[in-house]
Amino acid sequence: MTDLNLKVPAGSIFGFLGPNGAGKSTTIKTLLGLLKTESGKIHIFGKELNANKMYILERIGAMVESPSLYDHLNARHNLEITARIRNINFNKIGSLLETVSLTRDAHRPVKQYSTGMKQRLSLAIALLADPELLILDEPINGLDPNGIMEMRQLLININAAKKCTILLSSHILSEIEKLCSDVAIISAGTLVFQGDMQTLLSSTSGKEIITIQVNNAEKAIKSLDGKFITSAKDNNLIVTVDNKKQAAIIIRQLVEDGIDIYSTERESTGLEASFLHLLNGKQQL
Amino acid sequence: MKNNIQLFNRIILVEIAKLKGTFAFWLTVLYPSGTVLLVTLFWISMRNQKSANTGMFIDNLGNVASFFLPFFIVLMISVACNIEHKSSLLKHLLVLPVPRPVFYIGKFAGIMVFIFLAFLLTLIFAYASLFFCGLASPKLGFGADFNHLLLFKVITRAYFAASAIYTIQYWFGMKFRNLTLPVAIGSALIILPIAIMIILGITGLITKSDDFTKIISYNPYSYPYSTAFNMIKNKEVIIFSNLSLLFIALSAAVLISGAWQFNKRNIV
């Protein structure tokens, strides 16, 4: 990670995006003190992490990667373990189980739970201390469509009811688009975008991303002469165009320069397009 | 400091709560009951022996308990540590506001509560067995001249002799993410000295009994049963021998350095 400065507005749902291996989980683990930094310092809530670790962790609830639960214990006992360590009254457990819709299953061993139930229980554990900041690493990973919808609604409700800031990482862009008010995108440990969702979406509004499969990507980029933001991977040329007419010009230009076109494909618009646009811009040949 | 002590106590309570009903807990019951049962069955089979006394029963129990104790500790501590590893729970626990050394030593203390429970159960089962054997065969003479102090000293000595195993095995258990490796290392450290002793004995390189016990005495993992060998030879029960004290000091050093290393560790 290089000079990463995430500005997470209080009360927001902040999406933390990046391709696989970009450093999302590493960033989150470092923020939580699980990974040690070789150099540099980390500041959260305006305080340096190593010097104020207990102060900071008291204000954070976290769920890192897959749900971490005691499989042989039931939901209530799992919550009691964290409640005891954090010195929180056990009376609070009932209402939290209700929040995550696990009251009926509270006495079943966690090993009998579905992935969605485990994720919800992990979320309840993270919420035990009424955190100011909730850090969730891939909270919708492994969930079925129904589970994803439940988790989305749950996070929206928690954010509204508890006024809790949520920082969540995910690679499911459609969910981030529906859920988050603010977003940051990293690639190879470097921040490539940070701001509110509307700004990000408007940066590519009206634009389209087209993937063109050619016989020689290098020659094709030369042919376009840097007129369009392009990148290439395995002879797939990715171009950003303002309209369909521009797409036609590009294709004509490539054909005139003797480049064979095997296929063209219009990529999705919205956050996915913005995401690709930003990453492709960074990875230009 | 006061806050850390409160946290330490809470970590112990949490460790007890989460180990209840696990294999580690059942091992805590299985080891003392199995040990006492073995000695009981032996004495039931010897029920017509007239020259028996409680001292002989206690000697047998001490020797059997000393022999199996390292195996019990290796397995119990490894299983207790693996509970966190198998569900990646360290990631969850270490994002809670608990200093890592407090967590490391608190969890160890929680496991030691179960070791202490095994110690108490060994004593309780021993009394129950003596009572049962006495009832089954009055000829054994287990009802009279009962040496309570000897029983206490023999069992206590075995558990103190194992003091270095507790922290070394805990270090292995917390370091390695799978269960097999710490169990394999611990078992090898227990068995290896016996194997060496047998090989040297068979080949004739060692003939004196003193030399035999020296081989197993200086290895913390085999020291508990070397104390039993010494007792057979000397008929004297010393709880805090020089080697015991040395291993207690080693145990403390391993625990402190383990906590220091755990504090520096990356949790991936």
Q: What's the pLDDT tens digit per position in A123-167? A: 999 999 999 999 999 888 878 888 888 889 989 999 998 889 999
State percent of chain B over pLDDT 70. Answer: 94
pLDDT at B224 over 50: yes
In a domain, A43, yes or no: yes
In a domain, A40, yes or no: yes
Q: With an 8 Å Cβ cutoff, are A64 and B95 in contact? A: yes
Nearest CA in chain A to B9: A85
**Which domain covers residue A180, as residue numbers?**
13-195
Assess whether A175 and A256 both reside in one domain.
Answer: no
The pTM for the full model equals 0.84
What pLDDT score was predicted for residue B143? Answer: 67
CB-CB neighbors (< 8 A) of B97 in chain A: 53-54, 57-58, 86
CB A281 within 8 A of CB A229: yes
Q: With an 8 Å Cβ cutoff, are B99 and A87 in contact? A: no
Here the CATH number for the domain that contains residue A188 is 3.40.50.300
Here the CATH number for the domain that contains residue A235 is 3.30.70.980
Q: How far apart are CA A172 and CA B228, in angstroms?
A: 63
State percent of chain B over pLDDT 90. Answer: 57
- Look at residues A247, A243, A283 and name the one whose alpha carbon lies nearest to residue A264: A247
**Which domain covers residue B142, as residue numbers?**
2-264
Nearest CA in chain B to A125: B92
Most confident of A69-83, B45-59, B222-236: A69-83
Q: pLDDT by residue (tens digit) across A7-47?
A: 899 999 999 988 888 888 999 999 999 998 888 888 999 99
Residues in chain B: 268
Residue with tokens 């990631």: B91
What pLDDT score was predicted for residue A284? Answer: 42
Return residues 51-70 of B near A (CB < 8 Å). Answer: none
CB-CB neighbors (< 8 A) of B96 in chain A: 57, 82, 85-86
What pLDDT score was predicted for residue A205? Answer: 61
Question: Which residues have CB under 8 Å from A107's CB, separation 6+?
Answer: A74, A75, A76
What single DSSP character describes residue B177? S
Assess whether A85 and A220 both reside in one domain.
Answer: no
pLDDT at B87 over 60: yes
Q: With an 8 Å Cβ cutoff, are A57 and B96 in contact? A: yes
The number of distinct structural domains making up chain A is 2
Q: pLDDT by residue (tens digit) across B144-175?
A: 667 788 889 899 989 999 999 999 999 999 99
In this predicted complex, what is the ipTM?
0.85
The helix (H) or strand (E) run that includes residue B188 is helix B180-203
Of B6, B13, B18, the CB nearest to A70: B18
The number of distinct structural domains making up chain B is 1
Of A62, A73, A86, the CB nearest to B18: A73
In a domain, A1, yes or no: no
In a domain, A245, yes or no: yes
- For chain A, say whether B257 makes contact (Cβ under 8 Å): no
- For chain A, say whether B80 makes contact (Cβ under 8 Å): no
The CA–CA distances, whole Å, from B212 to B158, B190, B201 equal 19, 15, 8
